[in-house]
Amino acid sequence: MKTIKFRSNGQEVLTLQQKLVKLGYKITVSDYFGEETETAVKDFQRKNNLVADGIVGSKTWAKFESKENNTGDFNEKLLSEQDLNDFAKQYDVELAAVKAVNEIESRGSGFLNDGRPKILFEGHIFWRQLVKLNLSPESALNEENKDVLYKKWTRNFYLGGAGEYGRLEKAVSISLEPGFKEAAYASASWGAFQIMGYHYKSLGYASVDDFVTKMYEHEREHLGAFGRYLEKNNLIRHLKSKNWASFARGYNGPSFAANKYDEKLKKAYERFQNL
Protein backbone atom coordinates (compact mmCIF):
# COMPACT_ATOMS: atom_id res chain seq x y z
CA MET A 1 0.00 0.00 0.00
CA LYS A 2 1.23 3.49 -0.79
CA THR A 3 1.46 6.27 1.77
CA ILE A 4 -1.66 8.42 2.00
CA LYS A 5 -2.63 11.45 4.08
CA PHE A 6 -5.03 14.41 4.29
CA ARG A 7 -6.42 15.32 0.85
CA SER A 8 -5.30 12.05 -0.76
CA ASN A 9 -7.85 10.20 -2.86
CA GLY A 10 -8.21 6.87 -4.60
CA GLN A 11 -8.62 3.17 -3.82
CA GLU A 12 -6.15 3.19 -0.92
CA VAL A 13 -8.24 5.83 0.86
CA LEU A 14 -11.37 3.73 0.36
CA THR A 15 -9.56 0.68 1.76
CA LEU A 16 -8.36 2.68 4.76
CA GLN A 17 -11.84 3.99 5.51
CA GLN A 18 -13.32 0.50 5.31
CA LYS A 19 -10.72 -0.73 7.82
CA LEU A 20 -11.51 2.14 10.16
CA VAL A 21 -15.25 1.43 9.97
CA LYS A 22 -14.62 -2.23 10.84
CA LEU A 23 -12.81 -1.02 13.94
CA GLY A 24 -15.85 1.05 14.97
CA TYR A 25 -15.01 4.50 13.65
CA LYS A 26 -18.07 6.36 12.43
CA ILE A 27 -16.78 7.97 9.26
CA THR A 28 -18.03 8.43 5.72
CA VAL A 29 -16.62 5.87 3.29
CA SER A 30 -15.57 7.50 0.02
CA ASP A 31 -12.32 7.82 -1.87
CA TYR A 32 -11.35 11.15 -0.26
CA PHE A 33 -9.11 11.57 2.81
CA GLY A 34 -10.80 14.43 4.62
CA GLU A 35 -10.66 15.84 8.15
CA GLU A 36 -13.01 13.15 9.48
CA THR A 37 -10.70 10.39 8.25
CA GLU A 38 -7.60 12.20 9.49
CA THR A 39 -9.09 12.52 12.99
CA ALA A 40 -9.91 8.80 13.03
CA VAL A 41 -6.42 7.87 11.81
CA LYS A 42 -4.73 9.95 14.51
CA ASP A 43 -6.94 8.38 17.16
CA PHE A 44 -6.07 4.90 15.85
CA GLN A 45 -2.37 5.77 15.87
CA ARG A 46 -2.47 7.09 19.45
CA LYS A 47 -4.31 4.01 20.70
CA ASN A 48 -1.79 1.73 18.99
CA ASN A 49 1.39 3.43 20.23
CA LEU A 50 2.31 4.98 16.88
CA VAL A 51 3.27 8.55 16.03
CA ALA A 52 -0.06 10.37 15.72
CA ASP A 53 0.70 12.32 12.55
CA GLY A 54 -2.34 11.33 10.48
CA ILE A 55 -0.10 9.89 7.78
CA VAL A 56 -0.86 6.31 6.77
CA GLY A 57 2.45 4.78 5.76
CA SER A 58 4.08 1.39 6.21
CA LYS A 59 3.84 1.42 10.01
CA THR A 60 0.14 2.24 10.18
CA TRP A 61 -0.76 -0.18 7.37
CA ALA A 62 1.19 -2.90 9.20
CA LYS A 63 -0.71 -2.19 12.41
CA PHE A 64 -4.04 -2.53 10.57
CA GLU A 65 -2.87 -5.85 9.10
CA SER A 66 -1.69 -7.22 12.43
CA LYS A 67 -5.00 -6.33 14.09
CA GLU A 68 -7.06 -7.84 11.29
CA ASN A 69 -5.05 -11.06 11.02
CA ASN A 70 -3.97 -11.40 14.64
CA THR A 71 -0.36 -11.84 13.49
CA GLY A 72 2.92 -10.89 15.12
CA ASP A 73 3.37 -7.17 15.37
CA PHE A 74 6.69 -5.63 14.35
CA ASN A 75 5.24 -2.28 15.43
CA GLU A 76 6.44 -3.18 18.92
CA LYS A 77 9.86 -2.01 17.70
CA LEU A 78 8.67 1.26 16.18
CA LEU A 79 8.58 4.84 17.43
CA SER A 80 5.61 6.07 19.42
CA GLU A 81 4.25 9.56 19.98
CA GLN A 82 5.82 9.46 23.45
CA ASP A 83 9.26 8.75 21.99
CA LEU A 84 9.07 11.93 19.91
CA ASN A 85 7.79 13.89 22.93
CA ASP A 86 10.73 12.63 24.99
CA PHE A 87 13.19 13.60 22.24
CA ALA A 88 11.67 17.10 22.01
CA LYS A 89 12.03 17.59 25.77
CA GLN A 90 15.55 16.16 25.90
CA TYR A 91 16.84 18.60 23.27
CA ASP A 92 14.43 21.46 24.04
CA VAL A 93 13.07 21.41 20.49
CA GLU A 94 9.50 22.08 19.40
CA LEU A 95 7.56 18.85 18.89
CA ALA A 96 6.33 19.95 15.46
CA ALA A 97 9.95 20.36 14.35
CA VAL A 98 10.84 16.88 15.66
CA LYS A 99 7.86 15.38 13.82
CA ALA A 100 8.88 17.18 10.62
CA VAL A 101 12.41 15.78 10.79
CA ASN A 102 11.07 12.32 11.62
CA GLU A 103 8.83 12.41 8.55
CA ILE A 104 11.31 13.83 6.03
CA GLU A 105 14.67 12.49 7.20
CA SER A 106 13.69 8.98 8.27
CA ARG A 107 13.18 6.04 5.93
CA GLY A 108 9.58 5.45 6.98
CA SER A 109 9.97 2.31 9.03
CA GLY A 110 13.43 1.62 10.40
CA PHE A 111 12.89 -2.14 10.18
CA LEU A 112 12.27 -4.76 7.52
CA ASN A 113 9.17 -6.90 8.01
CA ASP A 114 11.38 -9.68 9.40
CA GLY A 115 12.46 -7.42 12.28
CA ARG A 116 15.97 -6.58 11.07
CA PRO A 117 16.93 -2.89 10.89
CA LYS A 118 17.02 -1.40 7.41
CA ILE A 119 20.53 -0.95 6.06
CA LEU A 120 22.30 0.26 2.95
CA PHE A 121 25.77 -1.11 2.35
CA GLU A 122 28.34 1.25 0.82
CA GLY A 123 31.22 -0.49 -0.96
CA HIS A 124 33.28 2.69 -1.34
CA ILE A 125 33.07 3.28 2.42
CA PHE A 126 34.15 -0.34 2.97
CA TRP A 127 37.21 0.39 0.82
CA ARG A 128 38.07 3.45 2.95
CA GLN A 129 37.50 1.60 6.22
CA LEU A 130 39.90 -1.15 5.18
CA VAL A 131 42.54 1.44 4.26
CA LYS A 132 41.99 3.11 7.64
CA LEU A 133 42.68 -0.21 9.36
CA ASN A 134 45.87 -0.69 7.29
CA LEU A 135 44.25 -3.54 5.38
CA SER A 136 44.60 -3.82 1.63
CA PRO A 137 41.36 -3.54 -0.39
CA GLU A 138 43.30 -3.94 -3.64
CA SER A 139 44.60 -7.37 -2.68
CA ALA A 140 41.13 -8.50 -1.61
CA LEU A 141 39.31 -7.27 -4.73
CA ASN A 142 38.21 -9.80 -7.35
CA GLU A 143 35.35 -10.43 -9.79
CA GLU A 144 33.26 -12.12 -7.11
CA ASN A 145 33.24 -9.24 -4.66
CA LYS A 146 33.42 -6.16 -6.88
CA ASP A 147 29.77 -5.41 -5.99
CA VAL A 148 30.69 -4.83 -2.33
CA LEU A 149 34.24 -3.50 -2.60
CA TYR A 150 34.96 -0.55 -4.88
CA LYS A 151 36.91 2.68 -4.70
CA LYS A 152 34.33 5.22 -5.92
CA TRP A 153 30.68 5.64 -4.97
CA THR A 154 28.08 4.12 -7.26
CA ARG A 155 24.45 3.13 -6.80
CA ASN A 156 24.75 0.37 -9.41
CA PHE A 157 25.13 -2.38 -6.84
CA TYR A 158 22.35 -1.39 -4.44
CA LEU A 159 19.77 -4.15 -3.96
CA GLY A 160 17.65 -2.57 -1.23
CA GLY A 161 15.68 -4.34 1.49
CA ALA A 162 16.90 -7.75 2.59
CA GLY A 163 19.29 -7.80 -0.37
CA GLU A 164 21.54 -5.35 1.45
CA TYR A 165 22.12 -7.96 4.15
CA GLY A 166 23.34 -10.34 1.47
CA ARG A 167 25.85 -7.70 0.38
CA LEU A 168 26.92 -7.07 3.98
CA GLU A 169 27.44 -10.79 4.62
CA LYS A 170 29.41 -11.06 1.39
CA ALA A 171 31.71 -8.24 2.54
CA VAL A 172 32.21 -9.88 5.93
CA SER A 173 33.11 -13.20 4.29
CA ILE A 174 35.88 -11.76 2.10
CA SER A 175 38.51 -12.43 4.73
CA LEU A 176 38.86 -13.90 8.21
CA GLU A 177 41.60 -11.39 8.90
CA PRO A 178 40.75 -9.31 12.00
CA GLY A 179 39.15 -6.02 11.01
CA PHE A 180 37.17 -7.09 7.95
CA LYS A 181 33.95 -7.68 9.91
CA GLU A 182 34.29 -4.40 11.80
CA ALA A 183 35.00 -2.53 8.57
CA ALA A 184 31.97 -4.11 6.86
CA TYR A 185 29.53 -3.27 9.66
CA ALA A 186 30.96 0.25 9.83
CA SER A 187 30.28 0.64 6.09
CA ALA A 188 26.49 0.35 6.23
CA SER A 189 23.94 2.97 7.20
CA TRP A 190 21.59 1.66 9.88
CA GLY A 191 17.99 2.17 10.89
CA ALA A 192 15.35 4.81 10.34
CA PHE A 193 17.79 7.73 10.15
CA GLN A 194 20.52 6.05 8.07
CA ILE A 195 23.34 6.58 10.57
CA MET A 196 26.59 5.17 9.20
CA GLY A 197 28.20 2.50 11.37
CA TYR A 198 31.60 4.21 11.35
CA HIS A 199 30.14 7.00 13.54
CA TYR A 200 29.80 4.56 16.45
CA LYS A 201 32.78 5.88 18.43
CA SER A 202 31.97 9.58 18.09
CA LEU A 203 28.38 8.84 19.15
CA GLY A 204 29.47 7.12 22.34
CA TYR A 205 29.08 3.43 21.50
CA ALA A 206 31.62 0.98 22.88
CA SER A 207 32.17 -0.71 19.51
CA VAL A 208 30.56 -1.07 16.12
CA ASP A 209 29.02 -4.34 17.40
CA ASP A 210 27.48 -2.40 20.30
CA PHE A 211 26.03 0.13 17.85
CA VAL A 212 24.59 -2.59 15.59
CA THR A 213 23.09 -4.46 18.56
CA LYS A 214 21.27 -1.29 19.62
CA MET A 215 19.97 -0.77 16.08
CA TYR A 216 18.30 -4.20 16.26
CA GLU A 217 16.41 -3.35 19.43
CA HIS A 218 13.95 -0.54 18.70
CA GLU A 219 13.44 2.57 16.60
CA ARG A 220 13.85 4.45 19.87
CA GLU A 221 17.53 3.51 19.59
CA HIS A 222 17.57 4.80 16.02
CA LEU A 223 16.17 8.11 17.25
CA GLY A 224 18.72 8.18 20.07
CA ALA A 225 21.61 7.73 17.62
CA PHE A 226 20.09 10.42 15.42
CA GLY A 227 19.95 12.83 18.36
CA ARG A 228 23.57 12.11 19.25
CA TYR A 229 24.56 12.69 15.63
CA LEU A 230 22.75 16.04 15.51
CA GLU A 231 24.32 17.09 18.81
CA LYS A 232 27.81 16.02 17.73
CA ASN A 233 27.50 17.95 14.47
CA ASN A 234 25.98 21.05 16.08
CA LEU A 235 22.69 20.72 14.18
CA ILE A 236 20.30 20.90 17.15
CA ARG A 237 20.57 24.70 17.06
CA HIS A 238 19.17 24.78 13.52
CA LEU A 239 16.31 22.53 14.57
CA LYS A 240 15.52 24.89 17.46
CA SER A 241 15.56 27.97 15.23
CA LYS A 242 13.81 26.18 12.34
CA ASN A 243 16.63 27.15 10.00
CA TRP A 244 15.70 24.40 7.57
CA ALA A 245 18.31 25.22 4.93
CA SER A 246 21.19 25.06 7.43
CA PHE A 247 19.79 21.91 9.00
CA ALA A 248 19.33 20.18 5.64
CA ARG A 249 22.80 21.25 4.45
CA GLY A 250 24.36 19.81 7.60
CA TYR A 251 22.44 16.56 7.56
CA ASN A 252 21.88 15.87 3.85
CA GLY A 253 24.98 17.47 2.40
CA PRO A 254 25.35 19.87 -0.54
CA SER A 255 22.66 18.11 -2.58
CA PHE A 256 19.98 19.22 -0.08
CA ALA A 257 18.79 22.09 -2.31
CA ALA A 258 18.45 19.96 -5.44
CA ASN A 259 16.33 17.49 -3.46
CA LYS A 260 14.40 20.33 -1.78
CA TYR A 261 14.90 18.87 1.70
CA ASP A 262 14.68 22.33 3.28
CA GLU A 263 11.36 23.04 1.56
CA LYS A 264 9.98 19.64 2.52
CA LEU A 265 11.00 20.14 6.15
CA LYS A 266 9.42 23.59 6.28
CA LYS A 267 6.12 22.35 4.83
CA ALA A 268 6.03 19.36 7.17
CA TYR A 269 6.76 21.60 10.17
CA GLU A 270 3.97 24.01 9.24
CA ARG A 271 1.53 21.12 8.87
CA PHE A 272 2.42 19.63 12.25
CA GLN A 273 2.22 23.08 13.85
CA ASN A 274 -1.43 23.25 12.88
CA LEU A 275 -2.41 19.74 14.02
Residue type at 133 in one-letter notation: L
| Alpha carbon separation from 247 to 196, 226, 244, 256, 258 (Å, rounded) | 18, 13, 5, 9, 15
pTM over 0.85: no
Q: What is the predicted pLDDT for the residue at 69? A: 66
Q: Is 1-74 a CATH 3.40.50.10440 domain?
A: no
CA 165, 109, 182, 140 dihedral sign is: positive
Model confidence pLDDT, tens digit, residues 40-81: 999 999 988 898 999 998 889 888 887 776 555 555 788 888
* Domain locations in the chain as residue ranges: 1-74
H-state helical runs in 35-113: 35-47, 58-69, 81-91, 95-105
Model confidence pLDDT, tens digit, residues 134-189: 999 999 999 999 999 999 999 999 999 999 999 999 999 999 888 999 999 999 99
